[in-house]
Structures are given as C-alpha cells and as structure tokens.
Chains A and B, each alone.
Chain A
Amino acid sequence: MGFLKIEDLKVHFPIKGGLFGRTIDHVRAVDGVSFTLEKGKTYGLVGESGSGKSTTGRAIIGLNHVTSGKVYFEDKEITGVTKAKSDFRKDIQMIFQDPYSSLNPKKRVIDLVAEPLRNFEKLSRKEERIRVQELLELVGLNPESILKYPHEFSGGQRQRIGIARAVALKPKLIIADEPVSALDVSVQAQVLNFMKEIQDELDLTYMFISHDLGVIKHMCDHIGIMYKGRYVEEGTAKEIFDNPQHIYTKRLVAAIPDIDPRKREEMKQFRAEVNSEYEQSYNDYFNEEGLAYGLKPITDTHLVALPEKG
C-alpha cells in the first residue's frame, strides 16, 4: 500500500459571471490526477506554470478545496479534512517558494519556528526554547539567533528557517513547492544538499514541485509530468529523462539548455526535430480540448498518456 495515495483528484475553480455572479463555467486546474508516493523517496511533480502542479500540492495538504477524488495518507482518507488540529497536519508539512514573503516579518525567529510546536505540543517556555535552538542547529543556523527577525537573514538562511518550521513537528511527508526557485545557484546547492541530508536523518518523504528540470533530476526518484491539469507521463527519473515517450515530455526534456557549448548545433537540430514532431502529432496526443488522454502503462513504473486510437 502506498504511503500517500492520490486517486482521481480534481480541483475545479468556478468562474463567476453574468448578472448575479452565477457560476458560468469552471477552470479545471487539476483534472483527474492519480499517483502514489513511496515512503522515504522523493517524488517530483513537473509542469509549466498553470499546469496545476502547485494546486495539486496544496489540495493534498488541504489548502485548496477538493472538487472530487480521494487522498489517502498511510491508508487513512484525508480528503477535505480542514480541521486545523487533525493529526495528519502534523505529519504533512509544506515548504513554500518564496522565503521573502512566507515568513512574517514582524515575528522573531523563535516565534516563527515555535509556531507549529505551540499548535500541537504543550511545551514550557524553556522546553520550547531548547527545541527551537535544536532545530536551528539542525538546519545549520546559529542557535543564538533566535531573537533575530527574518530581514536579518540572507535568502538561503530564510529558506532554512522555513525548513526548520516544516520539520519542527517531525513530519513524515514534506511538500516542497519550488523551494529553491528564488535562490542563487550556490545557495540553491546549499538548500538542496541540506534537504537530502535531513531526508536520511529524519526518514522523510518529499514531494518536490518544480519547473526546474535540473533540480528535479538531481533530487527525485519518481517524476510525474503535468499539462493542463492532467498527467501526461509518469516514471522513474531515468525513464523520464532517458526515454521520454509522450510528445510533451520529449519537448520539455529537449528544451533543457545543454551545458556543453560545443553541442549547440546538434541540440538546435534535435530541438527542431522534436518541435516539428510535436506540432505534427499534437492532435494525436491531445483530444479536441487540448487535454491529455488517460495514462497507460508501458512498463511497471512507466505510464504514458498515449492516444486512445491507433
């Protein structure tokens, strides 16, 4: 049984219009997504902006209303549970994209990091202080800095505060939504290394949401590719990067800039080929509405949204 199991998840947002603000249509942000996370592994969710990857992550944790579908966490259904003190809230935490806006600028580090502890655990002042200092040490920040404000830290350090908050309650699953997109490459390296370290240490499972394929490849064991609210392909990192099957994935992988300047011409040709293939077979791979078809297994782990006919 899966650790986290998503079944046919749909998140639709109403479009209001007309005279009385009636619902005239829906935006199908997530339109029938199913996948399973294995314990201790890292799952990557990839897609362009607007593909529904962040909405999926937020729906799992209960930040977005779920229209239909089921979310199981350790075999218990957690769909639509919004009660703030539910147990699973302790076990699933989130790391947000922007370390500059996701921390309250008026709060000190001790209050920021202790907030989840105060919600779930009754600790005395002294115990709390010790825990926060331990957490800061864990994420590589000076434990003395508990009285500082977020603006006194650099971007990478702030993201570590965000991580300290996320790991404070010893969660089992962390959903990281573009955790390093706002950071410089060297700081990005720091945060990614660190996330890998605590994964082993705390036996964490990650769900990594990103549009940066380099980061995804570096971090993830399994990858799902989303397009317009649906899955187009799912597989191990190797399968997705070395043997992409869906035309959309092929184009995505081909678009990654190659680090070798001498391959420039080669890549240009390869991309032109992939692009023309994409344009030619677009109608085969997507239905009249431009949506992907259902996933079909190619191997045990590799699923592709292949056309229904032919």
Chain B
Amino acid sequence: MLKIAIEKIDELFALVAQNQALYIPSDNKDGAAEYTRWSEGVKYSNALNTLRSAKDFFFPQTEDLVDFKMSGKNIEIIDIRKETEDFVIFGVRACDAKSFFILDNVYLSEPVDSYYKNRREHATVITMACSKPSETCFCSAFGIDATQPGGDVECASDGTSFFFEAKTEKGKAFIDSVSSLLSDGDTAELDNAKAKTKEILAKLPLAELSTESFGADKLTELFNSDKWAGLSESCLACGTCTFVCPTCQCYDIKDFDTGHGIKRYRCWDSCMYSDFTKMAHGNPRLTQLERFRQRFMHKLVYYPANYDGVFGCVGCGRCLAKCPISMNIVKVMKALEVK
C-alpha cells in the first residue's frame, strides 16, 4: 500500500494546498481540534474527533440563499449561487464520513438541494482510521468500523506512516496527484495496529449498545412510551446536541433586511427550540417532552423509516461529551430498550 512517513505529512499538505483548499483537524487555543484551512505552520491534530463535526463543510451553520432588491413595486431576485471551488478535507473519522451519506439521503434526493450538492461534488474526503477510540464512542452500534472509515481515500496510520488507499475515482485522482511523495510500504505493522484498535473497540463501555428495539416498525410503542417524561425532565432545551451532531440536518429560513434589500438565508434549526417547525396554524410540539422526543424519534425511527432502515446516528459521541446535563441518545436508547 502507498504510504508517507508521518513527519513528512506537511510536505503532502503543501503539495495538495498548491492547487486546492485543504482542511485538516488542528488544535485550537483551547486545546480542541477544529478543521482549519492548511497553510504553512498549521499542524495536523491526532485528536480523536473535532469539536464541531465535518458536516459544516457541506451544510454550514448559516448560508445565504438568495437576495432580493426592491425598487418601487419591482422585486428583483438575485441568484447568488456560484460554483464552489474544489477542496480537500483530510482526517475525517469513520463516524463523520458515514454522516455524509445520511445527509446525502436528505439533500441529494428530489428535490435536490443545489447548495449542498455543489459543495459535496467539489470535495475530496480523505478519512483517517481511529486508533484511540474514546469511552463515548459507539459507532459500532450503527455498523461502522472505525478502522475502515471509507471516504474517497481511506487513510490509516501504524504509528510511523500514513497509508493511503483510494476508494473512488476522485480518490484515485488525489493519490495520483501526490504520488511523487508516496512509496510502497509493507502493511504488517498497520494490520497489527488495526487489530489492536479492534480489541479496544470491543472493550468500549458502549460496545454492547443495541439498536434491536428501534427502527421504522417500532413507531407507535416508542412514541407512546411513558419514559419520555422522565428522560426529558431536566433537558435545558438548548441546542448543543443538535449543533455538534454530524447528522442533525434541520434548518430554518429567515429574511434579513439589509436596509436596501432582503437577504434570505438559512441557518441550522434545532428541534429543542420552542419555535421549531412553528407554522401559520401554530406549533405542533408545545412542550419540551415533545421536542425532546422528536430528536430521538427522528434518529431512531423516522429516519430509518424513510431510508431503508438506516439509523440517523453515527455514534460519534459528541452529544455525550457536550450536553450540559449529560442526557443523550445512549441514555435514551438504554431506557427505551426492550430486553
């Protein structure tokens, strides 16, 4: 397999960045990893996961959709869409890589979301196999193998080198473009490292988490469960879980009066918020219990009902780490589980 020594990775970054914008996880001042545009001096972080997920590349928190210009009684509609430039994301973990497909199901089915599609088509995704999973990880519950993260190019490390394997045509083109820096390498050490990671994955505290009790056919019993009241009782109704989540996909559309026109933009919405899906007739979910339930029903029942049984969670563990009151999908699943 083709490889590059870890200490030479900056050379590869420099080569890639000559032609395209390159984003890599890098530690910020607070010590948390964040995707950062690479330039000389930006160091790759080996952190397990970035603070915010990689979905931001395709589905940013805010985005301008269209402008309106008023003159007298005329309204001019200005299409502000333009072709995204090619870019590369390096170091995407298996969970985030899977989340792209969960978003694709929603945004690339008819009617196709052209804003999303534009960015998705111009991105090359280089993944990174996990080597040090955390106690909050539970991707295996959703059939994800953290040692085989996929993407356009699958990358993994044995501690001394990064190994690259193209998974798509785009991935092949990427490898061709950096082949001058890569050499053929023996994967014995890499196989060892992956086997060790698999042992750890099997020992994780959430390794046994089961999705058996969830899915499209469990709608009525789960919806009517008497457990929701207790589970949601201390929820603060903040949007932390939804905003750090790589698969949360809801948005709201707002108009911003610029003084000489209107900017119509969309921004992430959160089912935890009181005006979520509020319509002219009113609000379909009046209590926090209903809003809280929506989030987990969406991931565990509604999404699989719409997309061939695929669950809308990838087990990245960000919500487990970030919820101010430590309520999360794992606790919900354990409470609702039918044993």
**Chains A and B come from one and the same complex:** no
